[in-house]
Every structure is written in structure tokens, then in C-alpha cells.
């Protein structure tokens, strides 16, 4: 019985070490809340960006350059003035800069203040955005 407890402890220790190494190697992008540009300013200037919309939750304003932002299938490209006018976020929002490697600006994210967002740097020109909707009593 004593030997199996030691083996279990060693296995647990190895798992903890590998978990810590995995977390330490993770490269995160920066999502910094900003006052400017504002949500209204971005919406008025939307044609200067590639805009993605996540229904009732968020807008992503990607700067038109070589940088790439990877999104899941919940996002759609805003392709017309009518589509932009009809797209809304049904809650209070935050505006955040999306920055990658070497502090490169990729664009802006306007999202519900309760939701959680993570930006991971995949390489020098690519950021992956992960968006988690946090359910509230009223819902979106």
C-alpha cells in the first residue's frame, strides 16, 4: 500500500510540472480596454476595417493589413451598410484593442462587458480570438 501511494504522488507531481510548463509556454495577445476610439466612432468608420459581427454580442474591427485574426464560426463578415445598421449589441459594452506579437495592433473588439475574451498569439502575424458568452438572467 505504501509503494502505491508513492507512485501516485510521483505521477501527480509529474502531471503538475507538465501543466505548469504548458501554461508558461502559452503566448497571449493583449486585449486592453480603451476610451478611444469609441464604439460609435468605430461604427461610423466601419468601412475602413474588415468588420465581423457575433450576433447581439460583439463586433470585431480588423485593421486592413497583413495581420490575421482567427475566429470561430459564430462570426460573420459585415458586408453592407444595411447589415451594419441592423447589427446591435444588446448590453453595455467595452472597446478593447487587440495587440499581438511586438505590440502590433490588429484591430478593435467591441463586446458585452460580461463576456470573456482571450487573444492567443499563434505567430508573428496571427492572433486567435476566443470568445465566451457569459449567460445572464435576461440573455442577449
From CA 95, how far away is CA 29, in angstroms rounded? 16
Instruction: Please report which confidence band the pLDDT of residue 29 belongs to, taking 50, 70 and 90 as the band edges.
Output: confident
Q: Is residue 35 part of a domain?
A: yes
Question: pLDDT tens, 103-117?
Answer: 999 999 999 999 999
pLDDT at 20 exceeding the cut of 80 = no
Residue listed under C-alpha cell 453592407: 80
From CA 35, how far away is CA 27, in angstroms rounded? 26
Q: Is residue 17 part of a domain?
A: no
The residues, ordered by sequence, that sit 6+ positions from 77 with a Cβ below 8 Å of its Cβ are 50, 51, 52, 53
Question: pLDDT tens, 33-86?
Answer: 999 999 999 999 999 999 999 999 999 999 999 899 999 999 999 999 999 999
Residue with more model confidence, 124 or 20:
124
Please give the full DSSP string across 62-99, using - where no structure is assigned.
Answer: EESSS-EEE--TTEEE--SHHHHHH--BSS-EEEEEEE
For residue 89, what are the domain limits? 28-132
Q: Is residue 123 part of a domain?
A: yes
Q: Is residue 19 part of a domain?
A: no
Lowest mean pLDDT among 10-14, 26-30, 80-84, 129-133: 10-14
Q: Dmax of the chain from CA atoms?
A: 71
Q: Would the pTM of this model clear 0.85, i.e. be above it?
A: no
Nearest to 50 by CA among 108, 99, 5: 108
The tally of domains found in the chain comes to 1
pLDDT of residue 12: 64
Instruction: Please report which confidence band the pLDDT of residue 139 belongs to, taking 50, 70 and 90 as the band edges.
Output: low
Amino acid at each position: 500500500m505504501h509503494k502505491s501511494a508513492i507512485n501516485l504522488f510521483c505521477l501527480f507531481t509529474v502531471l503538475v510540472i507538465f501543466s505548469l510548463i504548458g501554461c508558461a509556454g502559452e503566448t497571449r495577445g493583449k486585449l486592453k480596454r480603451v476610451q478611444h476610439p469609441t464604439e460609435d466612432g468605430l461604427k461610423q468608420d466601419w468601412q475602413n476595417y474588415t468588420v465581423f459581427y457575433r450576433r447581439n454580442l460583439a463586433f470585431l474591427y480588423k485593421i486592413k493589413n497583413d495581420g490575421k485574426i482567427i475566429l470561430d464560426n459564430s462570426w460573420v463578415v459585415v458586408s453592407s451598410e444595411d447589415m451594419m445598421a441592423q447589427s446591435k449589441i444588446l448590453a453595455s459594452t467595452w472597446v478593447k484593442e487587440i495587440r499581438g506579437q511586438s505590440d502590433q495592433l490588429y484591430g478593435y473588439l467591441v463586446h458585452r462587458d460580461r463576456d470573456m475574451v482571450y487573444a492567443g498569439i499563434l505567430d508573428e502575424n496571427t492572433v486567435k480570438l476566443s470568445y465566451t458568452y457569459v449567460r445572464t438572467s435576461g440573455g442577449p
